[in-house]
């Protein structure tokens, strides 16, 4: 029996058996483990099982869904060339092998009775693989045209399979209404993967975007699938929902945002949440679109500017400031965040637009000095920040952490090295910062 196996499977089974220990029981366990690893050689596994047991017997001996999955891997779709299996030549011999394998698949799917749960699994596997002939054979043999198979085909862009499943649903007792309901369930899968042709076919079959809960439009907007967004909007999908514009803004899909705005999406929904998301992730072009459509740059206490400053998105910061964002929002929080993280370009933009470098008793300078951001410290000092703020805290922090360049900048701008009885020198000496 083992001699009939392809060489790659021989090797794997021998290795697994060697690891399984001694005795017949362990050898059997190792053999089972080897079969579970056999998908690494799918066409070889399918060929062996069918040759050894026949299509119908193999169906019951080695799991119908697994066997079909192996076999499908070796059956090329129409018009798709397949590399010959290792050890086999191409040309006529290989073509004959493929025909035999396809015949074996036909025998498998025609077997009765179906193992429990196998019918739906088989149909979905065949649909996902795009094997129209297998799908058609199963549907004609009585397999149910269900959402699982349709979504599997829709997500992979197998248009012919989608049409076959929809036609089978329409031919059933539910008629066109059943096909339309099935098509509605497949919208999100097609939209997620940007399969515009499939999406158009689903809509033509009566899919109702209004009963989809906007899931398809959200999916298309999230992944930036413009053609799918156009199709869904044209079919009546609601662009006004907050989540659709939010997802498109978050991921920076400018053209999708433009489409949604043109369809009536509300930029002010959720207190300008789309603008905050675009700003947080640095999408300046999207932020510009939203502001042009009326988004408030100061909504939610200037959250958009704070998010952009915190993450160092200088271009977005400048876009917001030009649109009227308050550079001193929340008592100078944008400046504090940018200074703390060392975003010098953002700090320049903020103080240039009027942010007070001494807000909250110079906390921005304290943060920059503490973290050793010398360039930011110099920008703040140049903008009028008090080098002796908070009883000399910037100098103490810089000295304690060994930031010599910052110490030089502060002292050069007038910071008192003897403030609080020379505490800065004490900290530097205690930490061993000789240069400071």
Model pLDDT, residue 136: 86
Q: Residue 400: which of 418, 432, 427, 372 has the closest Cα?
A: 427
Model pLDDT, residue 335: 98
Model pLDDT, residue 432: 85
Model pLDDT, residue 53: 55
Model pLDDT, residue 88: 32
The pTM of the whole model exceeds 0.85: no
Model pLDDT, residue 120: 77
Q: Which residues contact 228 (CB under 8 A, 6 or more apart)?
A: 190, 191, 194, 195, 196, 199, 216, 220
Model pLDDT, residue 99: 47
Model pLDDT, residue 143: 83
Q: Which two tokens stand for residue 23?
A: 């005795």
Give the residue ranges of DSSP H helices in 212-298: 215-223, 226-234, 242-250, 254-262, 269-280, 284-292
Domain 350-436 has CATH 3.40.50.2300: no
Query: What is the distance between the alpha carbons of residues 158 and 167, in angstroms, rounded to a whole number?
Result: 14
Query: Could you give the angle at which helices 269-280 and 299-310 cross, rounded to 10 degrees?
Result: 10
Model pLDDT, residue 315: 98
- pLDDT tens series, the chain, 436 aa: 444 555 555 545 544 444 433 333 444 555 555 555 544 444 455 555 555 555 555 544 444 444 455 445 444 443 333 333 333 333 344 444 444 545 555 555 555 555 556 677 778 877 887 878 778 888 887 889 999 999 999 999 999 999 999 999 999 999 999 999 999 999 999 999 999 999 999 999 999 998 765 789 999 999 999 999 999 999 999 887 668 999 999 999 999 999 999 999 988 776 678 999 999 999 999 999 999 999 999 999 999 999 999 999 999 999 999 999 999 999 999 999 999 999 999 999 999 999 999 999 999 999 999 999 999 999 999 999 999 999 899 999 999 999 999 999 999 999 999 988 888 888 888 888 888 7
Model pLDDT, residue 40: 46
Distances (CA, A) of 251 to 191, 254, 278, 280, 288: 16, 9, 8, 10, 15
Q: Where are the domains of the chain?
A: 350-436
Q: Which residue has the tokens 């200037």?
A: 302
């Amino acid at each position: 029996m083992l001699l009939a196996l392809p060489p790659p499977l021989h090797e794997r089974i021998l290795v697994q058996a060697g690891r399984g220990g001694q005795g017949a029981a362990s050898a059997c366990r190792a053999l089972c483990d080897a079969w579970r690893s056999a998908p690494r050689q799918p066409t070889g596994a399918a060929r062996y099982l069918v040759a050894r047991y026949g299509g119908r017997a193999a169906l019951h001996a080695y799991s119908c869904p697994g066997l079909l999955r192996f076999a499908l891997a070796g059956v090329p779709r129409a018009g798709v060339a397949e590399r010959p299996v290792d050890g086999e030549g191409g040309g006529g011999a290989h073509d004959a092998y493929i025909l035999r394998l396809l015949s074996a698949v036909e025998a498998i799917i025609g077997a009765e009775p179906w193992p429990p749960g196998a019918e739906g699994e088989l149909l979905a596997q065949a649909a996902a693989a795009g094997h129209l002939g297998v799908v058609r054979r199963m549907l004609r043999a009585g397999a149910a045209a269900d959402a699982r198979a349709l979504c599997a085909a829709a997500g992979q862009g197998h248009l012919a399979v989608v049409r076959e499943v929809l036609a089978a649903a329409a031919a059933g007792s539910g008629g066109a209404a059943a096909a339309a309901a099935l098509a509605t369930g497949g919208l999100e899968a097609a939209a997620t993967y940007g399969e515009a042709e499939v999406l158009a076919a689903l809509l033509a079959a009566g899919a109702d975007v209004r009963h989809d809960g906007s899931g398809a439009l959200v999916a298309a907007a999230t992944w930036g699938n413009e053609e799918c967004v156009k199709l869904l909007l044209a079919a009546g999908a609601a662009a006004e929902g907050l989540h659709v514009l939010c997802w498109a803004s978050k991921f920076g899909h400018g053209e999708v945002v433009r489409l949604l705005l043109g369809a009536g999406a509300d930029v002010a929904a959720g207190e300008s949440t789309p603008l905050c998301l675009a700003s947080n992730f640095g999408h300046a072009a999207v932020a510009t679109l939203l502001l042009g459509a009326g988004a408030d740059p100061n909504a939610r206490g200037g959250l958009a500017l704070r998010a952009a400053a915190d993450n160092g998105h200088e271009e977005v910061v400048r876009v917001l400031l030009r649109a009227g964002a308050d550079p001193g929002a929340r008592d100078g929080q944008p400046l504090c965040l940018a200074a703390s993280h060392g975003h010098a370009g953002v700090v320049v933009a903020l103080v240039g637009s009027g942010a007070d470098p001494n807000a909250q008793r110079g906390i921005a300078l304290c943060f920059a000095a503490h973290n050793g951001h010398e360039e930011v410290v110099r920008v703040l000092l140049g903008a009028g920040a008090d080098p002796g703020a908070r009883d000399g805290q910037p100098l103490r922090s810089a000295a304690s952490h060994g930031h010599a360049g910052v110490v030089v900048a502060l002292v050069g701008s007038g910071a008192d090295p003897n403030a609080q009885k020379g505490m800065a020198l004490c900290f530097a000496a205690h930490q061993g910062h000789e240069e400071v």
